[in-house]
């Protein structure tokens, strides 16, 4: 039996049928489909062994598991459906999450638009209100939470107390977690909140390697980002590139546990091995050859639009990578990219280096050309926009709308997200009170229209091809139908409001 168990809720401990983008549905409420079916689409239950250990688990949790195993603790990552028997013996439970309370975009947008709580927050609440956890708590179980959404607990103090969370760890936890768990096991007092700053972030040689399979074979290749966008916390972390040996060791772990496809994780995959914002073609090629020698299918977590443009313009690097990736096993790959704004003025204020090595004045052209390069090379981006930034003017939003018009020919999904200043968290239901103006609605409508118009093409010809995916394809097309219906509703709402304003 295990003294320490790591776990999370069902929307995190899942492989989304091997289609990472389906995880996006977990950020919304079930609409037009019963919730159990919705959960089946976006968060099918994870396979486990006879002890309830998850076959695949979120990568960050695997890192923590690895550090604790190396320190000699009896630890395992347990599927949430198999927790009960372990809680009779475990003394410490660690929980990681990307969005505990659905406060991050796009969960908060879905909540705001539909006025319904997203399934990720509901699923996490069900986990925390599991009677076995309450019972174990009464017997002295210590609960430590962390992960990218750790900050959310600062705005949910009532739940922090009600659910008996002992410690929240905010930041890269590898160097602090052993001490915390040792204290918990020894019955010593735990700090309520631990913030891990840059100086405590692990150096490259201190980053542990995973020992068991990560969700969808994700492997990290770089931590940190050199671009310094004002709204982003990733940029506060030092930049560290894994060596190819480290990457190969993690690939071997995933392959040995049965995975044949995976995601290369970095804030900017094309900057792997670089010292700044110019790609290092040799390193990028070596990385892809290595990963493709282990995985049949690969995708990228994130890439910057500027790196895509400069990589192709200067080195034909995107085309060369396509020759490595695309073969008899795959003919496209996906990636998340950040457009954020179509306004040069706003780009200069909030993300002056996002377009580097090109000047910020060229940002809209960088976006458009990067989209064209991705389209030609069968890369399907899921792009984000940020609305409601404090510095934003109506003219900035108009510029974003104009850019969206220019992006119409390029196969992609575009998701608008609302920036919420920390001060706004002071009210508990801030997400339902975001001031959405008409110009924002216009942009949201364009995004919905763009995404809905490409979604069926992407679902049928790329992501969910073949008879095996027929039920999922059918259900997702239903969802796309809902999105289109919603877009029309929003359009009617705008027209009605404008008509009533005009008659006053
Ligand atoms: S480019 Fe992306 S990861 Fe890097 S600082 Fe900007 S928003 Fe953050």
33 in a domain, yes or no?
yes
Tell me, yes or no, whether 43 and 144 share the same domain.
yes
What predicted TM-score, i.e. pTM, was given to this entire model? 0.91
> Whose CA is closest to 150, among 303, 8, 338?
8
398 in a domain, yes or no?
no
C-alpha 267, offset from chain centre: 11
Q: How far is the CA of 232 from the centre of ligand 1 (A)?
A: 6
Tell me, yes or no, whether 164 and 251 share the same domain.
no
400 in a domain, yes or no?
no
Give the pocket of ligand 1 (CB within 6 Å). 225, 227-229, 232, 234-235, 267, 304, 338, 351, 354
Tell me, yes or no, whether 169 and 242 share the same domain.
no
Tell me, yes or no, whether 361 and 266 share the same domain.
yes
Q: Tokens at residue 398, please?
A: 């108009």
Residue 420 to residue 356: CA distance in whole angstroms: 26
Residue 304 to residue 327: CA distance in whole angstroms: 24
Q: Which atom of ligand 1 is nearest to the CA of 354?
A: 1
Tell me, yes or no, whether 285 and 343 share the same domain.
yes
Q: How far is the CA of 236 from the centre of ligand 1 (A)?
A: 10
396 in a domain, yes or no?
no
> Whose CA is closest to 472, among 111, 55, 18, 121?
18
Tell me, yes or no, whether 187 and 222 share the same domain.
no
469 in a domain, yes or no?
yes
> Whose CA is closest to 296, among 335, 258, 325?
325
Q: Note down the domain range covering 313.
A: 218-370+379-391
45 in a domain, yes or no?
yes
pLDDT at res. 228: 86
Mutation to probe ligand 1, out of 234, 302, 349 (largest number of atoms < 8 A from CB):
234
pLDDT at res. 146: 96
Total domains in the chain come to 3
Backbone φ, ψ for residue 381 (5° rounding): -90, 145
Beta-carbon contacts of 304 under 8 Å, excluding residues fewer than 6 positions away, are 227, 267, 268, 270, 271, 337, 338, 354
Q: How far is the CA of 416 from the centre of ligand 1 (A)?
A: 16
Tell me, yes or no, whether 125 and 222 share the same domain.
no
Residue 90 to residue 75: CA distance in whole angstroms: 9
405 in a domain, yes or no?
no
Task: Say what angle helices 317-325 and 305-315 make with each other, to 10 degrees.
Answer: 100
Q: How far is the CA of 74 from the centre of ligand 1 (A)?
A: 37
Tell me, yes or no, whether 24 and 164 share the same domain.
yes
345 in a domain, yes or no?
yes
Tell me, yes or no, whether 196 and 69 share the same domain.
yes
Residue nearest atom 8 in ligand 1 by C-alpha distance: 232
The domain boundary, picked from 147, 174, 200, lies at 200
Whichever domain contains 330, its CATH number is 3.20.20.70
The domain boundary, picked from 200, 229, 254, lies at 200
Residue 483 to residue 447: CA distance in whole angstroms: 11
Tell me, yes or no, whether 227 and 190 share the same domain.
no
Residue 6 to residue 257: CA distance in whole angstroms: 19
Cβ–Cβ contacts within 10 Å for residue 468, how many? 10
Q: How far is the CA of 409 from the centre of ligand 1 (A)?
A: 26
Q: What share of the chain is helix, strand, coil (3-state, %, to 5)?
A: 50, 15, 35
pLDDT in tens, the chain (504 residues): 899 999 999 999 999 998 888 888 898 898 878 899 889 989 999 999 999 999 999 999 999 999 999 999 999 999 999 999 999 999 999 999 999 999 887 888 778 777 889 999 999 999 999 999 999 999 999 999 999 999 999 989 999 999 999 999 999 999 999 999 999 999 999 999 999 988 888 999 999 999 999 999 999 999 989 898 888 876 667 889 999 999 999 999 999 999 999 999 999 999 999 988 999 999 999 999 999 999 999 999 999 999 999 999 999 999 999 999 999 999 999 999 999 999 999 999 999 999 999 999 999 999 999 999 999 999 999 999 998 888 899 999 999 999 999 999 999 999 888 875 433 333 444 444 457 788 888 898 899 889 888 987 888 777 667 767 776 777 677 777 776 776 677 677 767 776 776 666
pLDDT at res. 425: 35
Q: How far is the CA of 267 from the centre of ligand 1 (A)?
A: 7
pLDDT at res. 503: 63
Tell me, yes or no, whether 383 and 486 share the same domain.
no
Whichever domain contains 164, its CATH number is 3.40.50.2300
| H or E element, residue 496 | helix 470-502
Tell me, yes or no, whether 227 and 138 share the same domain.
no
pLDDT at res. 428: 41
Beta strands in 274-371 (DSSP E): 297-300, 333-340
């Amino acid at each position: 039996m295990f003294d320490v168990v790591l776990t999370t809720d069902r929307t995190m401990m899942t492989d989304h049928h091997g289609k990472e983008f389906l995880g996006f549905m977990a950020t919304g409420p079930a609409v037009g489909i019963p919730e159990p079916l919705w959960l089946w689409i976006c968060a099918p239950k994870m396979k486990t062994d006879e002890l309830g250990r998850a076959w695949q688990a979120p990568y960050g949790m695997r890192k923590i598991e690895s550090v604790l195993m190396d320190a000699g603790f009896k630890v395992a990552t347990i599927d949430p459906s198999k927790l009960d028997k372990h809680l009779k013996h475990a003394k410490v439970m660690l929980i990681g999450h990307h969005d505990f309370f659905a406060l991050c975009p796009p969960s908060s947008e879905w909540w705001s638009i539909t006025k319904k709580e997203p399934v990720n927050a509901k699923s996490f609440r069900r986990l925390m209100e599991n009677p076995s956890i309450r019972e174990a708590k009464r017997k002295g179980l210590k609960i430590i939470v962390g992960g990218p959404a750790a900050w959310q607990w600062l705005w949910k103090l009532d739940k922090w107390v009600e659910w008996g969370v002992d410690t929240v760890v905010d930041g890269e936890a590898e160097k602090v977690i052993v001490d915390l768990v040792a204290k918990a096991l020894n019955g010593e007092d735990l700090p309520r909140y631990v913030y891990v700053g840059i100086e405590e972030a692990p150096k490259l040689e201190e980053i542990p390697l995973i020992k068991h399979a990560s969700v969808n074979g994700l492997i990290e290749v770089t931590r940190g980002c050199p671009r310094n966008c004002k709204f982003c916390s990733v940029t506060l972390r030092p930049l560290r590139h894994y060596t190819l040996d480290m990457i190969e060791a993690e690939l071997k772990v995933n392959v040995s546990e049965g995975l044949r496809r995976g995601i290369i994780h970095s804030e900017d995959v094309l900057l792997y091995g670089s010292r700044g914002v110019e790609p290092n073609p040799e390193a990028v090629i070596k990385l892809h050859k290595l990963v493709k020698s282990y995985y049949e299918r690969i995708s990228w977590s994130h890439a910057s639009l500027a790196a895509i443009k400069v990589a192709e313009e200067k080195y034909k690097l995107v085309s060369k990578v396509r020759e490595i990736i695309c073969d008899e096993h795959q003919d496209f790959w996906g990636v998340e990219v950040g457009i954020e704004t179509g306004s040069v003025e706003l780009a200069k204020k909030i993300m002056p280096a996002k377009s580097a090595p090109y000047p910020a004045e060229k940002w809209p052209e960088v976006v458009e050309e990067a989209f064209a390069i991705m389209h030609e090379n069968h890369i399907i981006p899921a792009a984000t926009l940020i609305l409601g930034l404090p510095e934003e003017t109506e003219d900035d939003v108009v510029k974003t709308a104009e850019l969206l018009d220019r992006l119409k020919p390029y196969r992609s999904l575009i998701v608008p997200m609302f920036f919420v200043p920390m001060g706004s968290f002071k009210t508990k239901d801030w997400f339902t009170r975001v001031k959405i103006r008409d110009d924002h609605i216009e942009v949201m409508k364009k995004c919905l229209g763009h995404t809905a118009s490409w979604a069926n093409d992407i679902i049928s010809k790329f992501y969910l091809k073949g008879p095996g995916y027929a039920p999922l394809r059918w259900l997702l097309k239903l969802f796309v139908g809902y999105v289109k219906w919603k877009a029309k509703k929003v359009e009617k709402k705008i027209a009605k409001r404008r008509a009533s304003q005009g008659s006053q």
